[in-house]
């Protein structure tokens, strides 16, 4: 059996029963507990002036291995060679080019993306 497109609302105890053509029955008691956790992106702060620093953190409640690698996306495109520290993406001295929608995933589980967070960068120069 395969269950797809799981969300946290699908967390529950699941029980199975098999009925054969010979009136045999097999019960899957006591059942199996399924816990579904989402991946989150935390951004601090979400609105900055050019030249400031922003830290994005990717968090999940599930166990994803001893030393997972996090993948970062901006506007749906994977970032190449980002400056990271474990589960954090560090944007140092941001510019208007850094503004956009960010999300993250755990390597190997890329199909499960965090919800996007939007970074707004205010221009502090004359004539912007």
- pLDDT for 43-98, tens place per residue? 999 999 999 999 999 988 766 666 788 999 999 999 988 888 888 999 999 999 99
Is the pTM value of this prediction over 0.85?
Answer: no
Nearest CA to 97 out of 74, 125, 71, 117 is that of: 74
- Predicted local confidence at residue 13, as pLDDT: 82
Using pLDDT thresholds of 50, 70 and 90, give the confidence band for residue 9.
confident
Structural domains of the chain sorted by starting position, each given as residue range(s) with its CATH number in brackets: 36-122 (2.60.40.10)
Q: How confident is the model at residue 125 (pLDDT cuts 50, 70, 90)?
A: low
Strand ranges for the chain from DSSP E: 12-14, 17-19, 25-27, 32-34, 39-44, 47-49, 54-60, 70-74, 77-78, 84-85, 88-91, 100-106, 117-122
Quote the CA–CA distance of 112 and 78 in Å, as a whole number.
Answer: 14
């Amino acid at each position: 059996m395969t269950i797809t497109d799981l969300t946290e609302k699908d967390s529950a105890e699941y029980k199975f029963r098999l009925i054969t053509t010979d009136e045999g029955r097999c019960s899957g008691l006591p059942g199996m507990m399924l816990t579904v956790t989402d991946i989150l992106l935390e951004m601090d702060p979400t609105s900055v002036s050019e030249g400031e620093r922003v830290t994005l953190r990717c968090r999940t409640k599930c166990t994803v291995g001893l030393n997972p690698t996090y993948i970062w996306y901006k506007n749906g495109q994977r970032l190449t060679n980002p400056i990271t520290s474990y589960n954090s993406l560090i944007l140092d001295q941001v510019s208007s080019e850094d503004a956009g929608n960010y999300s993250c995933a755990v390597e190997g589980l890329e199909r499960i993306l965090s919800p996007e967070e939007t970074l707004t960068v205010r221009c502090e120069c004359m004539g912007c």
